[in-house]
Structure 1
């Protein structure tokens, strides 16, 4: 066997070893989140932080909860080596009193293609009252907003629209918005910061998808760890109309055609 052939075989072995080791891998900050006790009707939300500790990009293909009570969202862009993505889990506690423990399966192209994370907690009465000492109240985070209402104007039925509220923590500890609740169950939320530091501010986004026609005033209760005002109420206003797309059609013979 010639030296050239030996060299080519050695090079192939090296490349095969490199390809075997060149792969992304996901590492979770934690694999279980405990919400503790939440009031029934709250949409309890948590973002799992996940880091790519491998040497190739990782794409999260799917996130599948074990039940329809949990709504997932996740980083859709490739997570580059050394970078971090998020997997958000929102648990709808409406009509589900008692303890819960739910699994969420994460599928990706990582070296370990399937990982399971968990959320747990206990759903208590709708009005959970707790007594606090004056010292605890003084140290509490405080949720402050510039305005408590947002008017969308005219919206089509089923159309998704986003209202943004600037929220500030005027207290002494980190402020965490843990969930929302609304009578229509047609509002979801997102916060720009997982925890808002004292004196800092963040953006609360409420996504509204109205299902009823006419004038609507949806009251959204924001749940946080502010023990002085744990359930701040915001109002979303809109005039909801039928979709306009079907109105611009003109019938020619038996077939509808776009109006010109």
Structure 2
């Protein structure tokens, strides 16, 4: 009988160790993003990149912001081992001048089951911002966009589409892209590299996911350390429809049928 109990105890230990070793682990590139100074009005957004460094799939079940001024979005499908996902934070700066620090609590079936991310910055009124000196402007980085608009044509509501741009730093110091501002929380970005040396270029991707059924024009302002006043606004256009598949079906139904 003692041997049976000993065998059962060993089996329980082995099973518990297996349960511990089989787990998903969400590892964020960083847990805090500083927007720096942002103009009051539009939504400033940032995507936190996360990787599953465990050996089991992880599903992010919820992201809770610390206030209604911060709108979270996140990867809804399971993040497989070795794969990546995002948690996007959009901060509405309208009517909120001053320093801010906001948190997002990420809940998942990974280990640990809750993690906290932070965004911070300072919302400033452009009229109240002291003018930069001539010397500061002369040594500043400067954004130059090869194109400033992109027309997607027809897009389905909620569909993700990417517009690609090229920007060049024509200034005299490193250009740092810190985020974007839009009137909606429907645009994300990727800059490669995020720090652009003087005289060099970078690839910029704007990932658009429209939520309103109508002709849309979105103005996207790049946030950076460029103080020269160079234009850093991009325009995205789209005709947002419910379903392109439904439209194609209607066209097929209306197609003429040859006489037999």
Note closer, same or farther for the CA distance 1:222–1:187 as it changes in structure 2 (3 Å cut): farther
Shift of 1:47: 3.1
1:34-113 alignment runs, 5 A limit: 34-52=34-52, 54-75=54-75, 76-78=77-79, 80=81, 85-113=85-113
Asked whether 1:124 is paired with 2:124, we answer yes
**Mind listing any 5+ residue stretches in structure 2 that lack a counterpart?**
256-260
Q: RMSD over aligned Cα, in angstroms?
A: 4.1
Aligned runs of 1:211-230 on 2, under 5 Å? Answer: 219-229=219-229
Instruction: Give the deviation of 1:44 after TM superposition.
Output: 2.0
1:124 shift after superposition: 1.4
Q: Which residue of 1 aligns with 2:205?
A: 204
Query: Aligned partners of 2:211, 2:50: CA distance in 1, in Å?
Result: 33
Residues 60 and 109 of structure 1 are in contact (CA less than 8 Å); yes or no, is this contact kept in structure 2? yes
What does 1:108-187 align with in structure 2 at a 5 Å threshold? 108-127=108-127, 128-132=129-133, 134=135, 136-137=136-137, 139-152=139-152, 155=154, 162-171=162-171, 172-182=173-183, 185=184
Q: How does the TM-score come out when normalised to structure 1?
A: 0.70
- The farther-off stretch of 59-68 and 159-168 is 159-168
Structure 1 residue 187 displacement after superposition = 5.8
- What is the Cα deviation at residue 60 of structure 1? 2.0
Gaps spanning 5+ residues in structure 1: where? Answer: 250-257
Question: Does 2:26 correspond to 1:23?
Answer: no
The 1:209/1:19 distance shift into structure 2, 3 A limit, reads closer
State the Cα deviation string for residues 39-87 of structure 1 (Å, max 9, x = none): 1024322333445555544332222223332232334441526x66442
The structure-2 alpha-carbon separation of the partners of 1:77 and 1:242, relative to structure 1 and needing over 3 Å to count, comes to closer
Question: What count of residue pairs does the alignment treat as equivalent?
Answer: 246
Q: Do 1:146 and 1:166's aligned partners in 2 also have CA atoms closer than 8 Å?
A: yes
- Aligned twin of 2:192: 193
